[in-house]
Amino acid sequence: MPSIIDQIRTLRQQRNAIILAHNYVLPEVQDIADMCGDSLELSRRASETNADVIVFCGVRFMAETASILSPDKKVLLPVLDAGCPMADMVTPEQLKQKMQMLPNIPVVTYVNSNADVKALSTVCCTSANVVDIVNQMESDEILMVPDKNLARYAARFTQKKIHLWDGYCPIHHQLTSDQVIQAKKAYPKAEFIAHPECSSDVLDMADAILSTSGMIAHTTRSSHYEFIIATEMGMLYPLQKANPQKQFYSASPSLICPDMKKIHLADILNCLSLLSNEIKVPEEIRVLAYNSVERMIRMK
């Protein structure tokens, strides 16, 4: 009997499939993927691939984004209830109400959002391009949804007035400055790197604020040998893999996103063999959401 890894490889070839994985997913899933990356890199790759099937190892909004960009492809999410609690912190009804209160103000929506919210938005952004996107908007005022921490981070680098939405990532938001102080005491030589989904108090203490793939690039270039990482724990794996001679420490043991840990090799094998767990966005929503995602990809 071939190993599960060999079975996945065989099916991947037979189905003309590509496996995309976010930097937070389980190490064995990252290892079998054709590409690992941050949200921006993965959406770009999903828009460019010639594969017939995209197996998206991440959470639902990522697979949805791939399906929005490539409606002619089969996009599979190996575990259907892998979601992002932050994405559910804004509904289309709530956003419509807010947009009526702020008429003619463009809406910049974090890709960590559901397709029906993207469909109402002017443009999307990710943690990697948020500052560029905000500064390229013509308006002097912007509404940003759903992540208030990402919006506050962007506000540091723009003259524009930013209206916040009260959403946040429960994993990043619970990290406190006291926990960071403790980590810095434990590893005094380490650089402190944070994801923009962390609170302002934590970001104030950071040596660098980066997307997940930005962290890999930065720590590879850095002359430091030790790093405290304030993002989801899974990130330690690709960081260590890229830099085996350096040391990476999590800022807190509670930085774990349960949704990002749901996909196992058996789930990939199962959905590839049955071509099950397809993610499809209703066409009337998809065409509108496509505009905001595609505008982001074109802008930066």
HSE, CB side, 13 Å, CA atoms: give it for residue 172: 31
Question: What is the spatial order of strands in the sheet that 123-125 belongs to?
Answer: 123-125, 107-110, 141-145, 161-163
Q: Which is nearer to ligand 13P, 169 or 203 (CB)?
A: 169
The answer to whether residue 171 forms part of the interface with ligand SF4 (CB under 6 A) is: yes
Element (H, E) at 270: helix 265-274
What distance in Å separates the CA atoms of residue 9 and residue 2, rounded to the nearest whole number? 10
- Taking the complex as a whole, how short is the minimal distance between the CB of residue 85 and ligand SF4, in angstroms? 5
Which residue among 33, 87, 125, 169 contacts ligand 13P (CB under 6 A)?
Answer: 169
Using CA atoms, how far residue 169 sits from 58, 86, 123, 166, 279, in Å, is: 15, 5, 20, 11, 23
Q: Which is nearer to ligand 13P, 169 or 296 (CB)?
A: 169
Contacts of 68 (CB under 8 A, 6+ apart): 115, 118, 281, 286, 289, 290, 293
- E-assigned strand segments in the chain: 17-22, 35-37, 53-57, 74-76, 107-110, 123-125, 141-145, 161-163, 191-194, 208-209, 226-230, 247-250
- Taking the complex as a whole, how short is the minimal distance between the CB of residue 211 and ligand SF4, in angstroms? 11
Q: What's phi and psi for 141, nearest 5 deg?
A: -130, 145
Piece of 68-76, 84-92, 136-144, 287-295 that binds ligand SF4 (CB under 6 A): 84-92
Q: Which amino acid is at 119?
A: A
Q: Interface residues for ligand 13P in 20-39 (CB under 6 A)?
A: 23, 38-39
Indicate which of ligand SF4, ligand 13P, none lies near residue 259 (CB less than 5 to 8 Å, by partner kind): ligand SF4
Is the CB of residue 263 less than 8 Å from the CB of residue 25?
A: yes
- Taking the complex as a whole, how short is the minimal distance between the CB of residue 13 and ligand SF4, in angstroms? 30
Which residue among 49, 65, 109, 112 contacts ligand 13P (CB under 6 A)?
Answer: 112
Q: Which two tokens stand for residue 36?
A: 């690992």
Q: Which is nearer to ligand 13P, 11 or 63 (CB)?
A: 63
Q: Interface residues for ligand 13P in 121-160 (CB under 6 A)?
A: 126-127
- Taking the complex as a whole, how short is the minimal distance between the CB of residue 39 and ligand SF4, in angstroms? 9
The answer to whether residue 259 forms part of the interface with ligand SF4 (CB under 6 A) is: yes
Per-residue binder mask for ligand SF4 (CB under 6 A), 172-201, x = binder: x------------------------x----
Max Cα–Cα distance, the chain, nearest Å: 62
Q: Which is nearer to ligand SF4, 24 or 192 (CB)?
A: 24
**Rule CB under 6 A: which residues touch ligand 13P?**
23, 38-39, 112, 126-127, 169, 197, 211-212, 232
**Rule CB under 6 A: which residues touch ligand SF4?**
59, 84-86, 112, 169-172, 197, 232, 257, 259-260
